Amino acid sequence: MSEEENMGYRVELFIYDLSRGIAKTMSPTLLGKQIEGIWHTGIVAYGREYFYGSSGIASCRPGGTILGDPDRIEDLGESQVPYQLFLEYIFGLGEATYSEGVL
C-alpha cells in the first residue's frame, strides 16, 4: 500500500444560514414558532468545498461560495477514499441524480 493510500483526508461540513439571521429573528412573528435558520451546507474535502446549487453539484475553495464564510463548521472526521475515486463518485452523482433540472 502506498503512503498516499494510508493518508486520511479531513472532511468538514460547512453550514450556512441562507437568511443571514432573519429567520431566527422573524420566525416567531411570522410562523408562531422560532426556527434557527434556513440552512445550506457544503462538504469540504481534499481542499475543496462541494455543494448543490442551481446548476447541480459544484465546487469552490472552502468558504468561497456567494454565501461567504460559513456560520458553523462541523468536523466529520477523515476519509480514506482516494481523491480520484471521490471525484468520480461526486461528479457521477452530479450527472445522474443531482444535475440541473433533475430535482
Task: Please name each of the domains of the chain with its CATH number.
Answer: 3-96 (3.90.1720.30)
AA identity, residue 86: F
Of residues 102 and 79, more confidence is placed in: 79
Mean pLDDT of 30-46: 95
**Residue 37 reports pLDDT greater than 60:** yes
Q: What is the pTM of this model?
A: 0.79
Q: Where are the alpha helices (DSSP H) in the chain?
A: 3-6, 22-31, 83-96
**Residue 64 reports pLDDT greater than 50:** yes
Alpha-carbon distance of 18 to 25, in angstroms, equals 13
- Owner of C-alpha cell 448543490: 52
Mode of pairing for the β-strands spanning 48-53 and 39-45 = antiparallel
Residue 56's pLDDT is what? 82
Confidence of residue 43 (pLDDT cuts 50, 70, 90): very high
Alpha-carbon distance of 12 to 32, in angstroms, equals 33
